[in-house]
Structure 1
Amino acid sequence: YHFISDSCTVSNGACDENAVCSHDAKTNAVVCTCKTGYTNTGSGSEVVCTDSCTVNNGGCDPNAACSHDGTTYAVICACKTGYTNTGSGSKVVCTDSCTVNNGGCDPNAACSHDGTTYAVICACKTGYTNTGSGSKVVCTDSCTVNNGGCERNAFCSHDTKTYAVECTCRTGYTNTGRERNVVCRDSCTVQNGGCDRNAACSHEARTNEVMCTCHPGFTNTGRGVTVVCTDRCTLNNVGDDPNGICTRDPRTNAVKCTCKAGFINTCTAAKVVCKDSCNIKNGGCDPNAACSHDDVTNAVKCTCKAGYTNTGSAVTIVCKDTCTIKNGGCAPNGACSHDATTNAVKCTCKPGYTNIGSDDNMVCKGMMNSDTIR
């Protein structure tokens, strides 16, 4: 009697150490079958069991890592960092994570990979700012975060093509920086806000737009929104009387109009109407004086009329009847009177006297005696 032992119990039936030894149901021949997690890489009837992960990556996707179940040692395919399983059931298909729901990034973020680890990197697109915390990237319109980095007196907007932040100074402010470094200053402090040098720069209360207002003594001769301040005294005497003179108040520079020599203002300070002074109350002359003008200065000249003599001064003319002043220059025994037409002084000898001189040099001599009184 001979005991025949099971071949599988002796050196695993000569099978590979990572194989399971069994028998063919019909022939009872030894059958070597690689254990779970191993693949037969032998040839012919020779079974060589090799770790499946070393053979075609265990059948896993090229972008998957092959490993084994800790209990069953079955192959496990797990997508590598930066890849996402888009397969179904037990079929693992590894797709670039950035092509699957943007890699889990915010819709306004760009998905990319770390150059070393290939981990997904979420970076906010141009025009957006990360307002998340830690590793969570939340992309918010940059213009809503600290005005996009723009100065407080600037508007934040986006380039229509690149969506990059653009800073534009608000109305009433001027950029004194550069295109990419906008510094907004009150326009009135920058070259007078573009106003004429003889204008004051200010702002419109509602819109803050620059307003240019000509200084006192200047008039806007521009058109539309262009203010050109011109000296009012150069504008046809500012439209006032042609016999007026345009001057300025030394304190306020406001225009003042006064009449030229020989003319008098018959209106108001606001509207000067210059009339010939001789036509207004005889130019201030004595009623018995003739008003005229100096040939050089056009100043008023008062000259006593015929038959009247100035008893005032060269400046203040007072016209008195010449006959009341030293008998009008007539001889003592002469009578002073006036020509009915010209009012010139007429000297005639009194009754009882006769003129023995001439008409210009009258000598009245008494007709009864030889006394001659001049």
Structure 2
Amino acid sequence: MSARPGSKGQVAIVGYAHSDVTRHAGRPLGALAVDTARAAIADAGLTAGQVDGFVTSALFPTAGAHAAEDGVSLVSADWLAQRLGGSPRYVAGFQGIGQIPGSVALAVNAVASGAADYVVMHRALHNPKGSYHANPMRTAGGAQQWTVPQGFFGPLSMIALPYNEYLQRYGASRETTAAVVAEARKNGARIPWSYWHDRPLTTEEYLAAPLLSDPICRYDCDIPVDGVAAFVFTSAERARDLPHRPVYVAGQASSAPPRRRLPLHWPLDDIMAGGTALAKRLWEQSGVSPADVDLPQVYDGFSPFVYFWLEVLGLCPVGEAHRFVLDGGIDSDRPGALPALSGGGALGNGRMHGIPQMLECYLQLAGRAGERQRERATVGVACASSPHFGGAVVYSTAPR
């Protein structure tokens, strides 16, 4: 899904709120979502009665056997709209991967088409008690009968194969990936609501962690959490009368359905081909180029995604991302570097999907990042999921 061509730069984010990110919250997820949405609406200078649109992606991202219960393990747009009152005219949910870009497109299209004047977009993530991926499956049928018995099952194996391909093809190593994770944790440690607040990670700690699915270790994976974020969208015209500097949505692109050679099998070439096609649509739809982007926020639910996104976006040559990172190319404290994980990402905040990327773009471009505010931040890109299986949004400080 893409935002309507006529909506480019005509819809803006005008407020936000974010809960603390914890392993297990002391309150139900639905209660957190209601409070966070109310805080975002107030931050935008509005009342709940003025909000007439609600969108989200309510996917509960576990491969285990946990129950999906609205208001408990997920929070749908319908559930939230019913509890905030008012008279919503537009309520919708995005179905698919790349939840944040898909939800942003719904919000933008609703405002641009006149279906709603003020839209709350939220994302609520839940970490169930017990093992996150606990699965009672005892037999495997269909195509999985050929892979599951050999241990090729679940997200860790899914990413371990293309990561191995990358390491072997381009001469990368786990020592270079340690720099990715350390950068994410360094920046996440600076953010008050982050699960990893005040807890950076050293290269030595990363390399000492046990492997889960060679070459993936514990710190290559974002940690499951409870947390909620909400954003308020409206037209560029209405945004002028609200208290905060608006951040405009300049363009959005989502990936096409990926190739499926085997269940969960993501060959590196397929990831890169799908991501390159997505990036081409993103630049065409937004009217910007990689050279215009001074605030890239790449997705890092698994650390190798950072390499893949840097390369498909054209921010460094193919096969060179690991060297680019090792040379300080994404060090947010280094002048002239691309701060690709300055918001901490998923590795530095917790499994909030693409929220950390979107939030960093909003805070920096709105001039609301506080002590972390960067001097030059005019065009940001927020990515979500894998390049061939997700999406990205371009944000700008000015209508384009």
Give the TM-score, by structure 2 length. Answer: 0.13
Which structure would you say has the larger Rg?
1
Larger fraction in strand: 1
TM-score (norm 1): 0.13
Q: Structure 1 or 2: larger helix share?
A: 2
